[in-house]
Structure 1
Amino acid sequence: MPQLNPAPWFAILIFSWLVFLITIPPKVLSHTFPNETTSRSTEKSKTNPWNWPWA
């Protein structure tokens, strides 16, 4: 039963994990998000009252 011999399968497992761990994280981390958060000032903006033309 050749499937019980762990020598080639263990090497394939380690090699495939190394490929995934080396190639995928830089690709994922290189994405930029379109909606970057901006810092808001703590001051409250002044709002003007609505002037109704018919009032």
Structure 2
Amino acid sequence: MPQLNPSPWFNIMIFSWLVFLIILLPKILAHNTPYEPSPETAEAPKAQPWIWPWH
């Protein structure tokens, strides 16, 4: 059963992780979002009671 031979698959896995860590990860971390979230207000929202027609 050749799929149990770890030699080629281990090399593919190591190469894939190296590509991810060296090339893709810095590009992902350098990405800036266009809109920074604004801080929330200190006021709690006022709850409105639900009016259910029970009849």
* TM norm structure 2: 0.52
5+ long unaligned stretches in structure 2: 37-55
Larger radius of gyration between Structure 1 and Structure 2: 1
5+ long unaligned stretches in structure 1: 36-55
1:32 Cα deviation from its structure 2 partner: 2.7
Tell me the percent identity: 66
| Runs of 4+ residues deviating >4 angstroms | none
Number of the residue aligned with 1:39: none
Number of the residue aligned with 1:31: 31
For the residues of structure 1 that align with 2:6 and 2:26, how far apart are their CA atoms?
31
Number of the residue aligned with 1:12: 12
Output the amino acid matched with 2:9. Answer: W
For the residues of structure 1 that align with 2:2 and 2:8, how far apart are their CA atoms?
10
Aligned CA RMSD, in angstroms, stands at 1.9
